[in-house]
Amino acid sequence: MRLKLIVAALLLSTVPFVNACNNSKPKETADDSKARAAADAADKQREDNRKKVDELNQKYPRIPVEGKLLENGENPCYNELKQRYKDELAQLKQMVESSGAKFLMVRISAEAGSKNSLSVKYGDPYIQSTIDGMGIECLDFTPIIAAQDIKEITQAPKDGHWSKKGAKLIADHIATLIKKYPDAACKVTFKDNERPETFGDLAPNDDEVLDGGKDLPYHVKANSQGVRMDHDLTFPKKKKRVLLMGDSGLFCPFLDNEFTIAYVLQQQFPDYEIYTTATVNWTMEDFISLWNEKTKFTEPDIVIVGTNAGDIEDLFFTNRNHCSRSGKPFYPSANETKFYIENYK
Amino acid sequence: MVFNSEQFAIFFAIIFVVYWSLFKYRLAQNLVLVVGSFYFYSFFHYSFPIYLGCLILATYLFGLWIQRTEDEVKRKILQYLSLFVLSFGLIYLKYSGLLIGSISGLSGWQASALHLLVPVGISFYTFSSIGYILDVYRGKIDAERNLVTFAAYLSCFPYLLIGPIPAARTVLPQFRQPSKLTLQGIDQSVGEILWGLFKKIVVADNISLGVNYCFAHQSELQGSSLLLGVVLFYFYLYADFSGYSDMARGLARLLGFDIARNFNSPFTARSITEFWRKWHISLTNWFYEYVFNPIVIGLRNWGRFSIAAAILLTFGLSGIWHGADWKFGVWGLLHSFAMIYEYYTADQREKFFSKMPWFLSGFIGIFFTLGYAILAETFFRADSISEGLEINRKILSMGLFTTPVSFSVKYLKWCAPLLIVEIIQQKGTYVFDMEQWGLSRFAGKLTKSAKNINFVTLIIKSLLYIILCYCIWLFYKRMNMAEYYYFKF
């Protein structure tokens, strides 16, 4: 009897590990040989890319800290990144607008209180002029944030990301932007078999506590489609949809789901579905790949992209090789190689 | 440098090789231990080994001085003087902030807080040194004449930081005798180290985020979620602290020392009195011997009240020993109230429970003990007494019957393997004592040959070790490496 109890206990105790292993391996369901071949080819491509990225990361391990690229003022390397930013922004705008969705932007710092940094000094004017040049409507949060007490609207002193009050402030201003376009409408619809299984990069049904190593625990809950929201998006859609794309400034680390910008906006617009696919450390290149692979299939009517001065430097090749969601290798240009060798070798 | 780091693994491997290569020279082995321990301690702050060195020297000299003094009055004076000197650092570094804060709070006197660097483990090794001095004074042990041997005993890195607090009577003599490393010892050590790593990396680090979340958001959460938080904290604290103690014991045994168990399945305690015989045993023993007993003897004319007074004082002190905050005092007092109640109602309770079937009385005992220990533990983790009270108020309100936060099961499930294994092994000498697991009997059913029984046991034990290694490997890189909770004390 005791032995049986022990065996049963042992079996029970393995349940968490079995679950942990199952969670890490998504089930393969492609029965069709053609689909399987395509999936195999994609896997092979991913594996090749991973190897190339690993090689590049070994050869160029360092990511310049914010402002490093600008220590000696503007330079050819930074100018190249600016051009890359401009090209990618134009590409994203074109892709979003081709779906019929309204493309809007917000200039919002990932971490408030960085107004005196070199990135802001050189990056912000360029970003604003680029946005203006492309005729994109953009809400600049710089003066709004400057009028606030940083200790109240951020997690200062532990971190510069939004507090509940900060997220509410941002949401209230974004709300004015959304209200201006009640007639915005996506003209594209996708068939069910065209849509991917997930629309965001979080693990489906993710339900965990994170703290970013800053002793600021927060609860992240994703729907079954990998988006940080409390319900799944259904099709055909019954409400207008607003998609927020960006980095941590819109993801709102250190806040539970119900205090994030997207959630606060959702409360203000019950006739809309408002959601975010923002993720910490992302930039234009990530927004483009995510749009192509996943978010365009949600058929948003309004797309609001958050940007900040750091997005330019985030396009440096070592940053991309470490942080890009696409996983493809980024080889250095001549200017990037020169900068890297001068500073890190 | 913590036990669950690659850095420590390399450090220990070097110490192990050098230590055993000198197995014929006990003193040289002790010297290796001293050098290794001071190097290990310097990783936390360069000044910590200096403080430790001074404490060791002072304890060593006072020990010899007391031993050589024959006049009883002088001995007593020396005893008090040494206790004052040895505890001065602890009181000044750890408690001056609390004292200044309390005095200024009561009197309205504006005093700026002292921001002092408190050496990790100061409470533990100061208690070891005080225990040693008291044992020498009482004539229970001879003062150690060799400074290297004494320094090796007091600074030995496996138990330096958070214990178990080594009893001088049983541990110090082991530093004088030739050390031995047996196959059985290695087997036990490996089991303890792996189990300790499992508790820390797989259980404690896994659930720590859930605990932190519940306490950080206590003002927003309902009673059910807070109950989950405090239950998780109880398991977290146990896994974190007992995991360290298991590793300390395993590492010490690999160096040829046998130190006492610090935990013995506290989940199975049927009363708070029994709980303290199973939780942080080395500290309980220390307080029992050096605080509780002297108080009882001193107040023997008070009758039964002397026991109650001794419990109250001992646990009040034990609480404050944990941290320089009155909330720890509240925690200690809550435990003392329960123990005083149990002391005065022992006969009635025994009569009442004897009428019940054993499993029912056992269940009731465990349920109430665990529940009380968990609720009292709230003060241990809360930021203040008022926060602890508020959490308990919410738990004991209708909020208890609301739906808890959605990640509850995700974190709670990690407590299951811990509970199961620890309950199975509660009476064993160490966690993978297969005799206790009933595996020899199981093997005996498969085969009659003693050789084969050993073989089957070995296979099963190896499988368990492989599973543990796999789990540790799986989570080692994934988890936040949280600091050991008791490093604060």
Q: Over the stretch A127-145, which tens digit does the pLDDT of each residue have?
A: 999 999 999 999 999 888 8
Q: Does residue A274 belong to any structural domain of this protein?
A: yes
**Residue B473: other Cβ atoms inside 10 A:** 11
Q: Which residues sit opposite A139 in a β-bridge?
A: A106
Residue A196: is the preceding peptide bond cis (ω within 30°)? no
Is it the case that residue A7 has pLDDT exceeding 60? Answer: no
What pLDDT is stored for residue A5 in this prediction? 47
**Cα angle B127, B132, B133; round to 5:** 100
Cα separation, A318 vs A329, in Å, equals: 10
**Cα angle A216, B239, A20; round to 5:** 75
> What kind and span of H or E run contains A242?
strand A240-245
Cα separation, A71 vs B332, in Å, equals: 56
Q: Give me the phi and psi of A96, to 5 degrees please.
A: -65, -45
Structure token pair of residue A291:
């749009």
Is it the case that residue A27 has pLDDT exceeding 60? Answer: no
Quote the minimal CA–CA distance from A206 to chain B in Å. 9
Structure token pair of residue A288:
């483009």
Radius of gyration of chain A (CA): 22
- Give the closest of A10, A19, A209 to B407, CB-based: A209
- Give the closest of B212, B416, B470 to A215, CB-based: B212
Instruction: Report the pLDDT averaged over residues B477-487.
Output: 68
Q: Does residue A238 belong to any structural domain of this protein?
A: yes
Structure token pair of residue B279:
């939780």
**Cβ-Cβ contacts under 8 Å, A215 against chain B:** 212
Q: How many domains does chain A have?
A: 1
Is it the case that residue B68 has pLDDT exceeding 50? Answer: yes
Show Cβ contacts of residue B179 under 8 Å, excluding neighbours closer than 6 positions.
B23, B26, B29, B255, B256, B257
Q: What DSSP letter does each residue of B127-145 carry, written as one string?
A: HHHHHHHHHHHTTSSPPP-
What pLDDT is stored for residue B110 in this prediction? 64
Q: Give me the phi and psi of A272, to 5 degrees please.
A: -115, 165
Mean pLDDT of chain B: 89
Q: Is B251 helix (H, G, I), strand (E, B) or coil?
A: helix
- Asked if residue A293 lies in contact with residue A196, where contact means CB atoms within 8 angstroms, the answer is yes
- Asked if residue A336 lies in contact with residue A316, where contact means CB atoms within 8 angstroms, the answer is yes
What pLDDT is stored for residue B479 in this prediction? 57
Q: Does residue A70 belong to any structural domain of this protein?
A: no
CA B296 to chain centroid:
25
- Give the closest of B406, B471, B474 to A221, CB-based: B406
ipTM above 0.95, yes or no: no
Interchain proximity A6–B438, CB inside 8 Å: yes
Burial of residue B11 (number of CB atoms within 10 Å: 0-12, 13-18, 19+): middle
Q: What percent of chain A has pLDDT over 70?
A: 89
Mean pLDDT is lowest, of A100-109, A201-210, B362-371, B480-489, for: B480-489
What pLDDT is stored for residue B91 in this prediction? 92
**Cβ-Cβ contacts under 8 Å, A19 against chain B:** 413
Contacts 24+ apart (CB under 8 A), B172-177: B172/B132, B172/B141, B172/B144, B174/B256, B174/B257, B174/B258, B175/B26, B175/B30, B175/B149, B175/B257, B176/B26, B176/B149, B177/B26
Interchain proximity A15–B441, CB inside 8 Å: no
Closest Cα to residue B389, out of B437, B330, B441, B346? Answer: B330
Quote the minimal CA–CA distance from B470 to chain A in Å. 10
What pLDDT is stored for residue B8 in this prediction? 93
- Asked if residue A13 lies in contact with residue B420, where contact means CB atoms within 8 angstroms, the answer is yes
Is it the case that residue A12 has pLDDT exceeding 70? Answer: no
Query: What are the CA-CA distances from residue B52 to residues A318, B129, B278 (Å)?
Result: 46, 11, 29
Query: What are the CA-CA distances from residue B341 to residues B305, B351, B364, B368 (Å)?
Result: 12, 15, 16, 13
Q: Over the stretch B278-332, which tens digit does the pLDDT of each residue have?
A: 999 999 999 999 999 999 999 988 888 999 999 999 999 999 999 888 999 999 9
Structure token pair of residue A107:
């200039």
Cα separation, B364 vs B269, in Å, equals: 11
Quote the minimal CA–CA distance from A208 to chain B in Å. 6
Query: What are the CA-CA distances from residue B328 to residues A103, B89, B318, B322 (Å)?
Result: 57, 20, 8, 7
Tell me the pLDDT band of B65, cut-offs 50, 70 and 90.
very high
Quote the minimal CA–CA distance from A210 to chain B in Å. 7
Structure token pair of residue B20:
């055993």
Q: Does residue A103 belong to any structural domain of this protein?
A: yes
Q: Does residue A143 belong to any structural domain of this protein?
A: yes
Show Cβ contacts of residue B199 under 8 Å, excluding neighbours closer than 6 positions.
B239, B240, B242, B243, B246, B418
Cα separation, B373 vs B367, in Å, equals: 10
Provide the residue range defining the domain that includes A110: 77-344
Is it the case that residue A20 has pLDDT exceeding 60? Answer: no
Instruction: Report the pLDDT averaged over residues B201-226.
Output: 91
**Cβ-Cβ contacts under 8 Å, A15 against chain B:** 413, 416
Torsion of CA B451, B457, B462, B468, to 10 degrees: -170
Is it the case that residue A14 has pLDDT exceeding 60? Answer: no
Q: Does residue A49 belong to any structural domain of this protein?
A: no
Cα separation, B461 vs B430, in Å, equals: 13
Mean pLDDT of chain A: 88
Mean pLDDT is lowest, of A237-251, B129-143, B235-249, B345-359, for: B345-359
Q: What count of CB pairs under 8 Å joins A to B? A: 61
What pLDDT is stored for residue A112 in this prediction? 61
Is it the case that residue B214 has pLDDT exceeding 70? Answer: yes
Interchain proximity A12–B410, CB inside 8 Å: no
Cα separation, B172 vs B185, in Å, equals: 19
Query: What are the CA-CA distances from residue A232 to residues A202, A242, A278, A320, B410 (Å)?
Result: 13, 14, 17, 30, 21
Is it the case that residue A8 has pLDDT exceeding 80? Answer: no
Which one has a higher pLDDT value, B116 or B128? Answer: B128
Q: Over the stretch B361-376, which tens digit does the pLDDT of each residue have?
A: 999 999 999 999 999 9
Structure token pair of residue B466:
């492989």
Tell me the pLDDT band of A111, cut-offs 50, 70 and 90.
low
Q: Is B69 helix (H, G, I), strand (E, B) or coil?
A: coil
Q: Over the stretch B1-28, which tens digit does the pLDDT of each residue have?
A: 888 888 999 999 999 999 999 999 999 9
Tell me the pLDDT band of A10, cut-offs 50, 70 and 90.
very low
pTM (two decimals)? 0.82
Is it the case that residue B114 has pLDDT exceeding 70? Answer: no
What pLDDT is stored for residue A34 in this prediction? 76
Q: Over the stretch A150-181, which tens digit does the pLDDT of each residue have?
A: 889 999 888 889 999 999 999 999 999 999 99
Q: Does residue A10 belong to any structural domain of this protein?
A: no
Which one has a higher pLDDT value, B452 or B143? Answer: B143
Cα separation, A295 vs A292, in Å, equals: 7
Radius of gyration of chain B (CA): 24
Closest Cα to residue A15, out of B471, B396, B481? Answer: B471
What pLDDT is stored for residue A319 in this prediction? 93
Residue A14's closest chain B neighbor by CA? B417
**Cα angle A290, A291, A294; round to 5:** 70
What pLDDT is stored for residue A29 in this prediction? 61
Q: Does residue A44 belong to any structural domain of this protein?
A: no
β-pairing verdict for A207-210 and A218-221: antiparallel
**Cβ-Cβ contacts under 8 Å, B468 against chain A:** none
Is it the case that residue B482 has pLDDT exceeding 70? Answer: no
DSSP code for B489: -
Query: What are the CA-CA distances from residue B303 to residues A270, B295, B306, B309, B391 (Å)?
Result: 72, 12, 6, 10, 38
Tell me the pLDDT band of A307, cut-offs 50, 70 and 90.
very high
Q: What percent of chain B has pLDDT over 90?
A: 65
Tell me the pLDDT band of B478, cut-offs 50, 70 and 90.
low
- Give the closest of B414, B421, B437 to A16, CB-based: B414
- Find the chain B residues whose C-beta atoms sit closer than 8 A to any C-beta of A: 209-210, 212-213, 216-217, 405-407, 410, 413-414, 416-417, 420-421, 424, 437-438, 441-442, 467, 470-471, 474, 480
Q: Give me the phi and psi of A33, to 5 degrees please.
A: -65, -35
Structure token pair of residue B369:
């003990």
Cα separation, B165 vs B63, in Å, equals: 18
Structure token pair of residue A34:
């053609």
What pLDDT is stored for residue A213 in this prediction? 82
Tell me the pLDDT band of A88, cut-offs 50, 70 and 90.
very high
Burial of residue B187 (number of CB atoms within 10 Å: 0-12, 13-18, 19+): middle
Alpha helices in B69-182 (DSSP H): 72-90, 96-107, 122-137, 147-155, 157-160, 168-171
Quote the minimal CA–CA distance from A312 to chain B in Å. 30
